[in-house]
Every structure is written in structure tokens, then in C-alpha cells.
């Protein structure tokens, strides 16, 4: 251990800093504004661990949702939304079904567009009913949170963090249209980073790079209808002109559920931390797979 630290002084400095703030980090008060679905399932593992360490956790969630259910580990603050559970489930299932169907690029793009538009309308309505729920927002204002933990794939949590003037921590796998690259000023050249639906790797010939660039163009149309309503809602609620990029740039820490073992290497900013291992929490390999891993490790 000592030779490793002496060979890498920056590692030693980081460890010392982390150890020095452990006591001051205990017992914090955290507001969580999650995104439903698989996004929530990964975040819940982290919240359970934080609660065991003595942190107080308050989760806001719409009454109509897929997986966000009350538990003894945190306080749940539910708020009403203007659609039923059946409508929400139907929209989500239609999106998943079309997302994995085969077909031409144009067919897939149109199906994804229509289903994303429907889900986006439900999501923006949900966000508006959170922000303009006066009783709930008053409770959040009076609670004096230390930080907001949210998934920026839908930036409603960051709008609330701005209103409360509280630091925000992002917990995400990525954002549509590469907004996480742009907000953090990380390079994302189409010559090297494969775009969705291309099925390319990070090693492309010239024609594949041209195709990669062409496939990137529709993202701007998708992002416009997905995120523009949030910019309008944020500007009205915060009473100042604001864009979605303005909101995303305010994050203090980006916890990315990525890992270079499975994802392409990319430049990172100092406030970006890869936590891909969280996706494997409490997962046990089948016995045959476990034996194979042990043999390969010998």
C-alpha cells in the first residue's frame, strides 16, 4: 500500500481529503427528485446506503408512478398529477416496445419520436404539478436541505434545486442528445464517439464517420421538443430567462453510472465521477458463471 501511495501522490492526497471530511459529512439532509423506471431502481440502492449512514432523506414523487414506493428508509412526499395509472403505464410500455423493434432508421426514428413526445408531455405535466404545489414547495423551503440528488435526464429536480438555492448532485447514465457532454464541456466528436442507432464502434472508417455525423442531426429535433418545455417552465417558475443547459451547468457533482470496462473511454471533468459498479449492487453470479470467473482468475 505504501509504495503505491508514494508512487501516486495525488491518490494519497485524495484519500486524506476524503477521510478528513467523513465526520462533517455525517447526518446530512437530502432532497431526492428521482426519475421513474430503471433510473429509480439504481438510485434506490444508493439511498438505502445513505440512510444506513445516518442521513435524512426526503423523496418527492407523483402519485402515479411505476416503481417509486414508500419504504421505512426515507420520507415520501407524494403529489397529484392529472393522469391515471393506466395512462402512464400504457405510454411507458408503448415506448419500450417500439424502442426495441427492428426496422429502418426512419421507421424507428418516427416511432421513438411519437412515443417520446407522449412521455414528454406526461413528464412536463408531472414537473409542473410538483413545482406549483404550494403546500409541498413550502414544506421543502422550510426543510433546509443540504443538497438535492436528482437525475437530469428530466431536469425538474434541478429547477427545484435552483429555487431552493441548494447544491445539486446528478445521478445518471447519460442525457439525451449528449447534453451531459455539452453541459460539462467534455469533447464528444462524431468522428470517434458512436451515435445511437448506428451500431458503430469507436473504430470507424471514413464513410462510417460520415454516417455517424448524419445520424447525429435528428438528435437536435428530439431534444428541442423534449427539453424546450422545461426551459419555458423553468423560466416561468424561477422568474428569469433560463435554458436547460444553464440548469445542467449548475450541478456540483455528476455521478455517472458508467464504467470504462463497458463504455467507451472519454475525457472527464474533475466533478464527474464514474460509479458504474452501483448497477451490480447485491447481484450474485449464477454458480456456473462464478466457477468460470474463479478459474479464469487463477
For residue 238, give the CATH number of its domain.
3.40.50.2000
Kindly list the averaged pLDDT for each block of 10 residues, start to end, along the chain of length 298.
47 48 64 92 89 93 92 94 84 70 72 77 94 97 96 95 97 86 87 76 85 78 81 97 95 90 80 83 52 38
160 occurs within a structural domain:
yes
Helix (H, G, I), strand (E, B) or coil at 60: strand
223 occurs within a structural domain:
no
CB within 8 Å of 219: residues ≥ 6 apart: 176, 177, 178, 195, 196
218 occurs within a structural domain:
no
Which of 115, 186, 127, 187 lies closest to 151 in space, CA to CA? 127
222 occurs within a structural domain:
no
68 occurs within a structural domain:
yes
Q: At 158, list the grid cell.
A: 434541478
- What pLDDT is recorded for position 183? 93
76 occurs within a structural domain:
yes
Cα 204 to Cα 210: distance, rounded to the nearest angstrom: 9
- What pLDDT is recorded for position 139? 97
Range of the domain at 60: 27-181+229-286
Secondary structure of 133-196 in HEC code, one letter for each residue:
CHHHHHHHHHHCCCEEEECCCCCHHHHHHHHHCCCEEEEECCCHHHHHHHHHCCCCCCCCCCCC
Domain count, the chain: 1
Does this model's pTM top 0.85?
A: no
- What pLDDT is recorded for position 297? 35
113-119 long-range contacts (CB < 8 A, ≥24 apart) are 113/221, 113/222, 115/91, 116/222, 116/225, 116/226, 117/225, 118/91, 118/94, 119/91, 119/92, 119/95
262 occurs within a structural domain:
yes
Beta bridge partners of 57: 30
Paired sense of beta strands 253-256 and 147-150, if any? unpaired
Cα 30 to Cα 146: distance, rounded to the nearest angstrom: 6
291 occurs within a structural domain:
no
Which of 161, 153, 152 lies closest to 130 in space, CA to CA? 161
- What pLDDT is recorded for position 267? 81
Amino acid at each position: 500500500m505504501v509504495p503505491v501511495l508514494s508512487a501516486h501522490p495525488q491518490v494519497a492526497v485524495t484519500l486524506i481529503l476524503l477521510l478528513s471530511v467523513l465526520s462533517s459529512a455525517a447526518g446530512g439532509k437530502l432532497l431526492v427528485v428521482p426519475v421513474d423506471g430503471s433510473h429509480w431502481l439504481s438510485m434506490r440502492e444508493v439511498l438505502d446506503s445513505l440512510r444506513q449512514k445516518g442521513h435524512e432523506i426526503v423523496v418527492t414523487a407523483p402519485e402515479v408512478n411505476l416503481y417509486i414506493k414508500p419504504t421505512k428508509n426515507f420520507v415520501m412526499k407524494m403529489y397529484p398529477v392529472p393522469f391515471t395509472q393506466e395512462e402512464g403505464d400504457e405510454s411507458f410500455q408503448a415506448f419500450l416496445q417500439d424502442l426495441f423493434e427492428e426496422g429502418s432508421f426512419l421507421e424507428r426514428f418516427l416511432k421513438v419520436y411519437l412515443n417520446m413526445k407522449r412521455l414528454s408531455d406526461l413528464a412536463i405535466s408531472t414537473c409542473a404539478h410538483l413545482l406549483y404545489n404550494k403546500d409541498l414547495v413550502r414544506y421543502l423551503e422550510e426543510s433546509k436541505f443540504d443538497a438535492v440528488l436528482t437525475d437530469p435526464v428530466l431536469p425538474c429536480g434541478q429547477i427545484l434545486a435552483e429555487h431552493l438555492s441548494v447544491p445539486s448532485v446528478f445521478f445518471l447514465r447519460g442525457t439525451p442528445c449528449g447534453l451531459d457532454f455539452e453541459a460539462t464541456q467534455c469533447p464528444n466528436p462524431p468522428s470517434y464517439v458512436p451515435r445511437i442507432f448506428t451500431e458503430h464502434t469507436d473504430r470507424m472508417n471514413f464513410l462510417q464517420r460520415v454516417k455517424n455525423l448524419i445520424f447525429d442531426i435528428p438528435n437536435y429535433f428530439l431534444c428541442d421538443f423534449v427539453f424546450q418545455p422545461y426551459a419555458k417552465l423553468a423560466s416561468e417558475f424561477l422568474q428569469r430567462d433560463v435554458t436547460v443547459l444553464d440548469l445542467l451547468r449548475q450541478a456540483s457533482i455528476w455521478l455517472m453510472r458508467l464504467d470504462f470496462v463497458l463504455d467507451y473511454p472519454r475525457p472527464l471533468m474533475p466533478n464527474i465521477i464514474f460509479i458504474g459498479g452501483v448497477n451490480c449492487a447485491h447481484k450474485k453470479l449464477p454458480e456456473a458463471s462464478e466457477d468460470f470467473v474463479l478459474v479464469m482468475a487463477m
